[in-house]
Amino acid sequence: MSFVAGKLAWILLKPSNLLVLVLALGIGARLLARRRTGAVLIAGSLAGLLAATALPLGDWLISPLENRFPAPSLPARVDGVIVLGGAIEPGLSADRQTLSLNGNAERMVAFAALARRYPEARLVFTGGSGNLMRPDEREGDWVGPFLDAAGIARERVLVERDSRNTEDNARMSKALAQPRAGERWVLVTSARHMPRAVGLFRRHGWPVVAYPVDYRTTRDVGLSFGFSLARGLGALDSAAYEWFGLAYYRLSGRIDDWFPGP
């Protein structure tokens, strides 16, 4: 599946979009006198929306992803640190002419902290554009202002700005950094994204130390009632994106395990 096909498929498979599509199909069926079919579709969509509103469905699915890689005890010496893009909003940054970070900003905070902790380590930022409509808006173009604000010399950081997805991150950043056998590199990304990211880096022959950040769930997610449709659908979409990504990469042979772990 190409990058474009994958993006289009996700638009349809995204739970929030899928529930609305089913609701629209149900209404359409009712208007076309397919009353029973329409009623089933509408009821199914509304039940899904109600469940996402009232129950922590997304958290239940995110929790095993975030628990897969525990926070490591970092060694005294690290040869390099890699941070995956996903925290910078390049379009908004360009429009406002100021650096704009999103909800994944902990990736960049951790990257800066590790850069200070290991002043001799090589540093890599990998992130281009995953936007189908605006491929020229690249995260890598806005790393400089962040480094300046964090007090990190720009010349310390290798910036990869052509990647479009996590597989590109692994392949292109390896070509840029040229890690040597036996070196110890730390990979920084969101905890829920770590299994897929580690699987891809391993597949490209680059073993890394997982440094998960940006947690969205507690260690043990129980039964709770939140009654927030926006939050519920957001968490469900985020979880589905990672699980679908793991399944796709495994089926296509891009990772070696269904659920990469330590």
**Domains of the chain, each with CATH number or no CATH:** 3-66+226-251 (no CATH), 72-213 (3.40.50.620)
Q: How far is CA 254 from the centre of its chain?
A: 17
Q: What is the pLDDT of residue 130?
A: 77
Strands 157-160 and 185-190: unpaired
**Residue closest to 249 by CA, chosen among 200, 180, 184, 181:** 200
What integer is the mean pLDDT of 2-28? 89
Evaluate if residue 2 carries a pLDDT over 80.
Answer: no
pTM of the model: 0.90
259 Cβ contact partners less than 8 Å away, ≥ 6 residues apart: 68, 195, 246
Q: What is the pLDDT of residue 1?
A: 55
Give the CA distances from residue 251 to residues 9, 45, 64, in Å, rounded to whole numbers and listed in that order.
Answer: 16, 29, 20
Rounded to the nearest integer, the mean pLDDT of the chain is: 93
DSSP for 116-172, please give it.
Answer: HH-TTSEEEEE-----SS-TT--GGGGHHHHHHHHT--GGGEEEE----SHHHHHHH
Per-residue pLDDT tens over the stretch 23-76: 999 999 999 989 899 999 999 999 999 999 999 999 999 999 999 999 888 988
The secondary element (H helix, E strand) that includes residue 31 is helix 15-31
Per-residue pLDDT tens over the stretch 75-113: 889 999 999 999 999 999 999 999 999 999 999 999 999
What integer is the mean pLDDT of 208-225? 90
Q: What is the pLDDT of residue 166?
A: 94
Evaluate if residue 226 carries a pLDDT over 80.
Answer: no
d(CA 71, CA 164): 27
Per-residue pLDDT tens over the stretch 183-208: 999 999 999 999 999 999 999 999 99
Give the CA distances from residue 248 to residues 2, 72, 88, in Å, rounded to whole numbers and listed in that order.
Answer: 12, 28, 25
Per-residue pLDDT tens over the stretch 146-189: 999 999 999 999 999 999 999 999 999 999 999 999 999 999 99
Q: Which of 59-73, 220-234, 243-257 has the lowest mean pLDDT?
A: 220-234
Q: Which residue has the tokens 């890690």?
A: 179
Evaluate if residue 13 carries a pLDDT over 70.
Answer: yes
